[in-house]
Structure 1
Amino acid sequence: MDTKPLLHADKIDKSFGPTHAVKEVSLDFYPGEIHALIGENGSGKSTFTNMLTGIIPIGSGTFTLEGEQVAPRNQVDANHHGIAIVVQETGTLSGLTVAENMFLGDEDQFMHHGVKDTAAMNRRAQELLDSYGLGSIKATTVIDHYGFEERKLVEIVRSTYFDPKVLVVDETTTALSQSGRDKLFEVMRHVRELGHCVIFISHDMSEVLDMSDRISILRDGDYITTVEKKDVDEEQLKTLMVGRKMDDHYYRTDYPDYQSLPEGEVAIKAEHLKVPGQLDDVSICVHKGEIVGIGGLSECGMHEVGKALFGASYDREGTVTLSDGTEVNDINTAINHSIAYTSKDRDNESLLINDTIEDNITLPSMRDMGRFLSDKRLHAFAEKFAEAMSVKMVGVDQYVSALSGGNKQKVVLARWLGKGSEILILDSPTRGIDIKVKASIYSLLEKMRSEGKAVLIISEEIMELIGMCDRIYVMKDGKVNGELTRRPDLTEQDLIAKMV
């Protein structure tokens, strides 16, 4: 490019103990471009951008924005320098209103003689929400009232309303429905049109090629190369990411011999589930030795089904029954009867984010280990299942908060693998996970199926449902709108026809 870089990164380096997360990476980002940053989980992408945006301190090296060196102390300081980020996990604070979250750390603009003008802040927040086409989100409402997607949309408004020169989008699309993604892509294109820069992190290669102008690849903390999107395809990008050619055929290739329901024993059955405003008379079942999927558009109710089956939906009506007749009405009953659950909101609902890998893996299994537990035994247990899931870590005493998104998900699965769960309810199990890890998770699910375990996948990825499931329930407006069985000619359009 002939123009001068908008942002220059010079020998950016960061270590966490013995883990060298980013190794003297130098990169240029130009005005008026969407610049994708890709790599496997643990490649250093988020560490690099977290230093840029003040989430973590810079180890060594410098960032220069429009000729001025910047080293943000925190995200608010980064915003004042014209740098913003929309993070992968939840970035809003519970207990605060939408408006308070939007202007957190920047309330001074509404202060008059030492008193905050809350009414003015609420008006400004609502004006911004309306201008983004998000008028259904109310500035005065406590953020907890809204679901994961709406909270991400609030973060997008918060991160872009002040017209940042550099916007980092870190795996945000995995948390959004198609309509939410379209809204985010519209914002990204607008930032580019203003002559600013978007740094776009995504594991979806088709999305990367569709949205970006240039693509930089990191691998194990090292900078590999930067390519123009017109010069590469998906297979070439995957090869650059992992250092070898990837086999893209990681879905199942078998097709069961049944045309309607399987003949195996029902492991878990839900009948007439109702949750006000979310589920309306939903009945489903999962057999032993079967992978069942639930799909649909955002807010169709599918995520609530997972919580209801796990006993985590407290205003639920209807029944959830196991093969031995046990009714599941609370989380303790679910865990005690070998049910595992992973939430879409990984950091807040599936992990103890500020505890160690060991604590997270051993927690549900402690009661099974007997009365006399030693630190040595717990440590060995955690190591066994962390290694079984190939968690990339310094050791099991490392804090989960320091892991990449994919490695966090591996810890979640290691926990339930260690527990020996017979029924697995997996909500968005491969969200924000790279190709190689996704393939290993699919292989694990096939193994569990062959062992007679019952697996339920709740997913917004249609190809994941088609590729991995024996049966698929398609939901619409809180109801089951169709049930499809596995077959070679099942297409995305077959599912979409039931979703809309």
Structure 2
Amino acid sequence: MAESKLLLHAEKIDKKFGPTHAVKEVSLDFYAGEIHALIGENGSGKSTFTNMLTGILPIGSGTFTLDGEQIAPKNQVDGNHHGVAVIVQELGTLNGLTVAENLFLGDEGRFMKYGIKNTAAMNKKAQELLDGFGLSKVRATAPIENYNFEERKIIEILKSTWFDPKILVVDETTTALSQDGREKLFEVMRDVRAKGHCVIFISHDMAEVLEMSDRISILRDGDYITTINASDVDEDRLKTLMVGREMGDNYYRTDYPNYVTEPQGEIAIMMQNVSVPGSLDNVSLELHKGEILGIGGLSECGMHEVGKAMFGASYDREGIVQLGDGTPINDINAAINNSIAYASKDRDNESLLINDTIQDNITLPSMRDMGLILKQKDLKAFAKKYADIMSTKMVGVDQYVSALSGGNKQKVVLARWLGKQSNILLLDSPTRGIDIGVKADIYQLLAEMRNQGKAILIISEEIMELIGMCDRILVMKDGKINGQLFRSPELTEQDIIAKMI
């Protein structure tokens, strides 16, 4: 990169949140025509660093100089006007607005004349952008709520890139996308690089980082560690640089139960002829005690609706969901009362109380089990115990969840259900946004829960996660189960992909 033009220089960028020193005088250079990965464990400071660059957070101290001009965006819209855009990990679109209104949020002035907004012109321009981006089926005038999580993320990608930013920050976005969505995002990233601009790419997927990046910078506990060429390292070296120690290869389970063609153990929960309009079509399955059952598939195959339906959260569900003893599960209260846990892929909207404390989020489902008189010190001790088990990086359990990184939010979700001592766990994308060290801990925890006789459902777009952790894998296609595969050392990604397409 020595001959490339220096596009962005960060000089001693620093940020504190109370006693937490999130970013410690980090200086970095980003060049024109590169994809520059920024990696580190949860809480390493990478998102805080880029949030200051993009205007999501005010700069603590230090300077960003973009193309020779010092910038300090006041907000994301101001960042856009300075040529900086960000695609975040969670949903970045707002309910109650149309697709067009979301696309041009904060930039409506381009359609204003004499103080009156020309809505027709805005909708026309939005539809042109959608059509040109391959999103013709998305209508600019439709409410954003009409579209699913994946479609809304693709709309966000368009929102962040249509004005041709000089710097595009991609912050853990791939974890929220299917393989099709990832390929669309990668295409956009390559296009930004080809135009002579720069992509700052944040990801916990080391294979993805090595495939897409030209250079890689590592942060650890807010400190800058080093910058290296992607061609000069492998996954093991990156993991060591991230965590400061050697990482073993035993991420996944190493046991291979002889299931042959039938699962073992009592039925914990089952679905019989369950349909959800637009998602599931007459799906039947059984989850057994002492089993990790995986569900995989391509975008819009319906797999993410399975967890909701089993948890009683799909209000237009048809068919039967019941425990092995016949107890019906028709709503969320019934699920929680019968020791069922559910972690949604869309954690900010469906799994967490974002504007509440870590303590309240962890203790909420367990309060009934803690006696008639709830003492504040007991609630705090309970929350701290399970937050610490999940290695949650926090100021304290009275910290608001909204202030946490994406990975630490996920740890709070899992800590909640760990504290509840649930016997049936329905986990949709359980390691999304989780760093490699904690991911290994979660896999070990799930294996231990399985050995204790708990029933675990893992819904995942990560094929290796399914192969590495599951006793059985159901592959979905077009809202139906298209195949079943059993745990085996010979099972390959190609075996699963063949059932997906």
TM-score by length of 1: 0.99
Q: Equivalent residue for 1:303? A: 304
Secondary structure of 1:437's aligned partner: helix
Structure 1 counterpart of 2:166, which letter? K
> 1:198-277, aligned counterparts within 5 Å?
198-277=199-278
Q: Which runs of 5+ in 2 are unaligned?
A: none
> 1:386-401, aligned counterparts within 5 Å?
386-401=387-402
Asked if 1:478 is matched to 2:479, the reply is yes
User: RMSD of the TM alignment (CA)?
Assistant: 0.9
Structure 2: distance between partners of 1:285 and 1:165: 50
Query: 1:238 deviation in Å?
Result: 1.0
Q: Equivalent residue for 1:60? A: 61
Q: Equivalent residue for 1:21? A: 22
Query: 1:131 deviation in Å?
Result: 0.9
Query: 1:248 deviation in Å?
Result: 2.2
Structure 2: distance between partners of 1:494 and 1:186: 26
Aligned length: 500
Moved more, 182-191 or 474-483: 182-191
Structure 2: distance between partners of 1:230 and 1:376: 52
1:251-307 residue CA offsets vs partner (Å, 9 max, x unmatched): 001011221223311000101010111111100111111100000001000000110
Structure 2 counterpart of 1:442, which letter? Y
Structure 1: distance between partners of 2:483 and 2:116: 56
> Residues 13 and 61 of structure 1 are in contact (CA less than 8 Å); yes or no, is this contact kept in structure 2?
yes
Structure 2: distance between partners of 1:97 and 1:478: 27
Q: Equivalent residue for 1:279? A: 280
Q: Equivalent residue for 1:9? A: 10
Structure 1: distance between partners of 2:121 and 2:324: 57
Query: 1:67 deviation in Å?
Result: 1.3
Secondary structure of 2:430's aligned partner: coil
> 1:483-498, aligned counterparts within 5 Å?
483-498=484-499
Q: Equivalent residue for 2:424? A: 423
Q: Equivalent residue for 2:193? A: 192
Structure 2 counterpart of 1:7, which letter? L
> 1:32-431, aligned counterparts within 5 Å?
32-431=33-432
Structure 2 counterpart of 1:485, which letter? F
Query: 1:88 deviation in Å?
Result: 0.6
Structure 2 counterpart of 1:82, which letter? G
Secondary structure of 2:37's aligned partner: strand
Structure 2: distance between partners of 1:2 and 1:323: 66
Secondary structure of 2:27's aligned partner: strand
Structure 2 counterpart of 1:206, which letter? A
Secondary structure of 2:24's aligned partner: strand
Q: Equivalent residue for 1:439? A: 440
Stretches (4+) displaced over 4 A: none
Structure 1: distance between partners of 2:43 and 2:85: 22
1:191-238 residue CA offsets vs partner (Å, 9 max, x unmatched): 111111110111111111111111101011000000111111111111
1:140-174 residue CA offsets vs partner (Å, 9 max, x unmatched): 11111111111111111111111101110001111
Query: 1:324 deviation in Å?
Result: 2.5
Moved more, 257-266 or 211-220: 257-266
1:173-202 residue CA offsets vs partner (Å, 9 max, x unmatched): 111111111111111111111111110111
Structure 2: distance between partners of 1:460 and 1:41: 21
> Residues 4 and 33 of structure 2 are in contact (CA less than 8 Å); yes or no, is this contact kept in structure 1?
no
Secondary structure of 1:29's aligned partner: strand
Structure 2 counterpart of 1:247, which letter? G
> Residues 53 and 83 of structure 1 are in contact (CA less than 8 Å); yes or no, is this contact kept in structure 2?
yes
1:23-48 residue CA offsets vs partner (Å, 9 max, x unmatched): 00000001111111011111100000
> Residues 410 and 433 of structure 2 are in contact (CA less than 8 Å); yes or no, is this contact kept in structure 1?
no
Query: 1:4 deviation in Å?
Result: 4.0
Structure 2: distance between partners of 1:291 and 1:66: 51
> Residues 406 and 437 of structure 1 are in contact (CA less than 8 Å); yes or no, is this contact kept in structure 2?
no
Secondary structure of 2:150's aligned partner: helix
Secondary structure of 2:159's aligned partner: helix
Structure 1: distance between partners of 2:213 and 2:132: 25
Structure 1: distance between partners of 2:334 and 2:4: 62
Structure 1: distance between partners of 2:126 and 2:160: 13
Structure 1 counterpart of 2:491, which letter? L
Secondary structure of 1:6's aligned partner: strand
> Residues 180 and 298 of structure 2 are in contact (CA less than 8 Å); yes or no, is this contact kept in structure 1?
no
Structure 1 counterpart of 2:85, which letter? A
1:429-474 residue CA offsets vs partner (Å, 9 max, x unmatched): 0111111111011011011101110000000001100100001111
Structure 2 counterpart of 1:21, which letter? A
Structure 1: distance between partners of 2:11 and 2:458: 43
Query: 1:66 deviation in Å?
Result: 1.2
Secondary structure of 1:473's aligned partner: strand
Structure 2: distance between partners of 1:178 and 1:258: 29
Identical amino acids, percent of aligned pairs: 77
Structure 1 counterpart of 2:260, which letter? Q
Secondary structure of 1:281's aligned partner: strand
Structure 2 counterpart of 1:294, which letter? I
Structure 1: distance between partners of 2:249 and 2:108: 49
Structure 1 counterpart of 2:201, which letter? F
> Residues 338 and 421 of structure 1 are in contact (CA less than 8 Å); yes or no, is this contact kept in structure 2?
yes
TM-score by length of 2: 0.99
> Residues 96 and 144 of structure 2 are in contact (CA less than 8 Å); yes or no, is this contact kept in structure 1?
yes
Structure 1 counterpart of 2:108, which letter? E
Q: Which runs of 5+ in 1 are unaligned?
A: none
> Residues 98 and 142 of structure 2 are in contact (CA less than 8 Å); yes or no, is this contact kept in structure 1?
yes
Query: 1:492 deviation in Å?
Result: 0.7
Structure 1 counterpart of 2:136, which letter? G
Structure 1: distance between partners of 2:186 and 2:485: 31
Query: 1:384 deviation in Å?
Result: 1.2
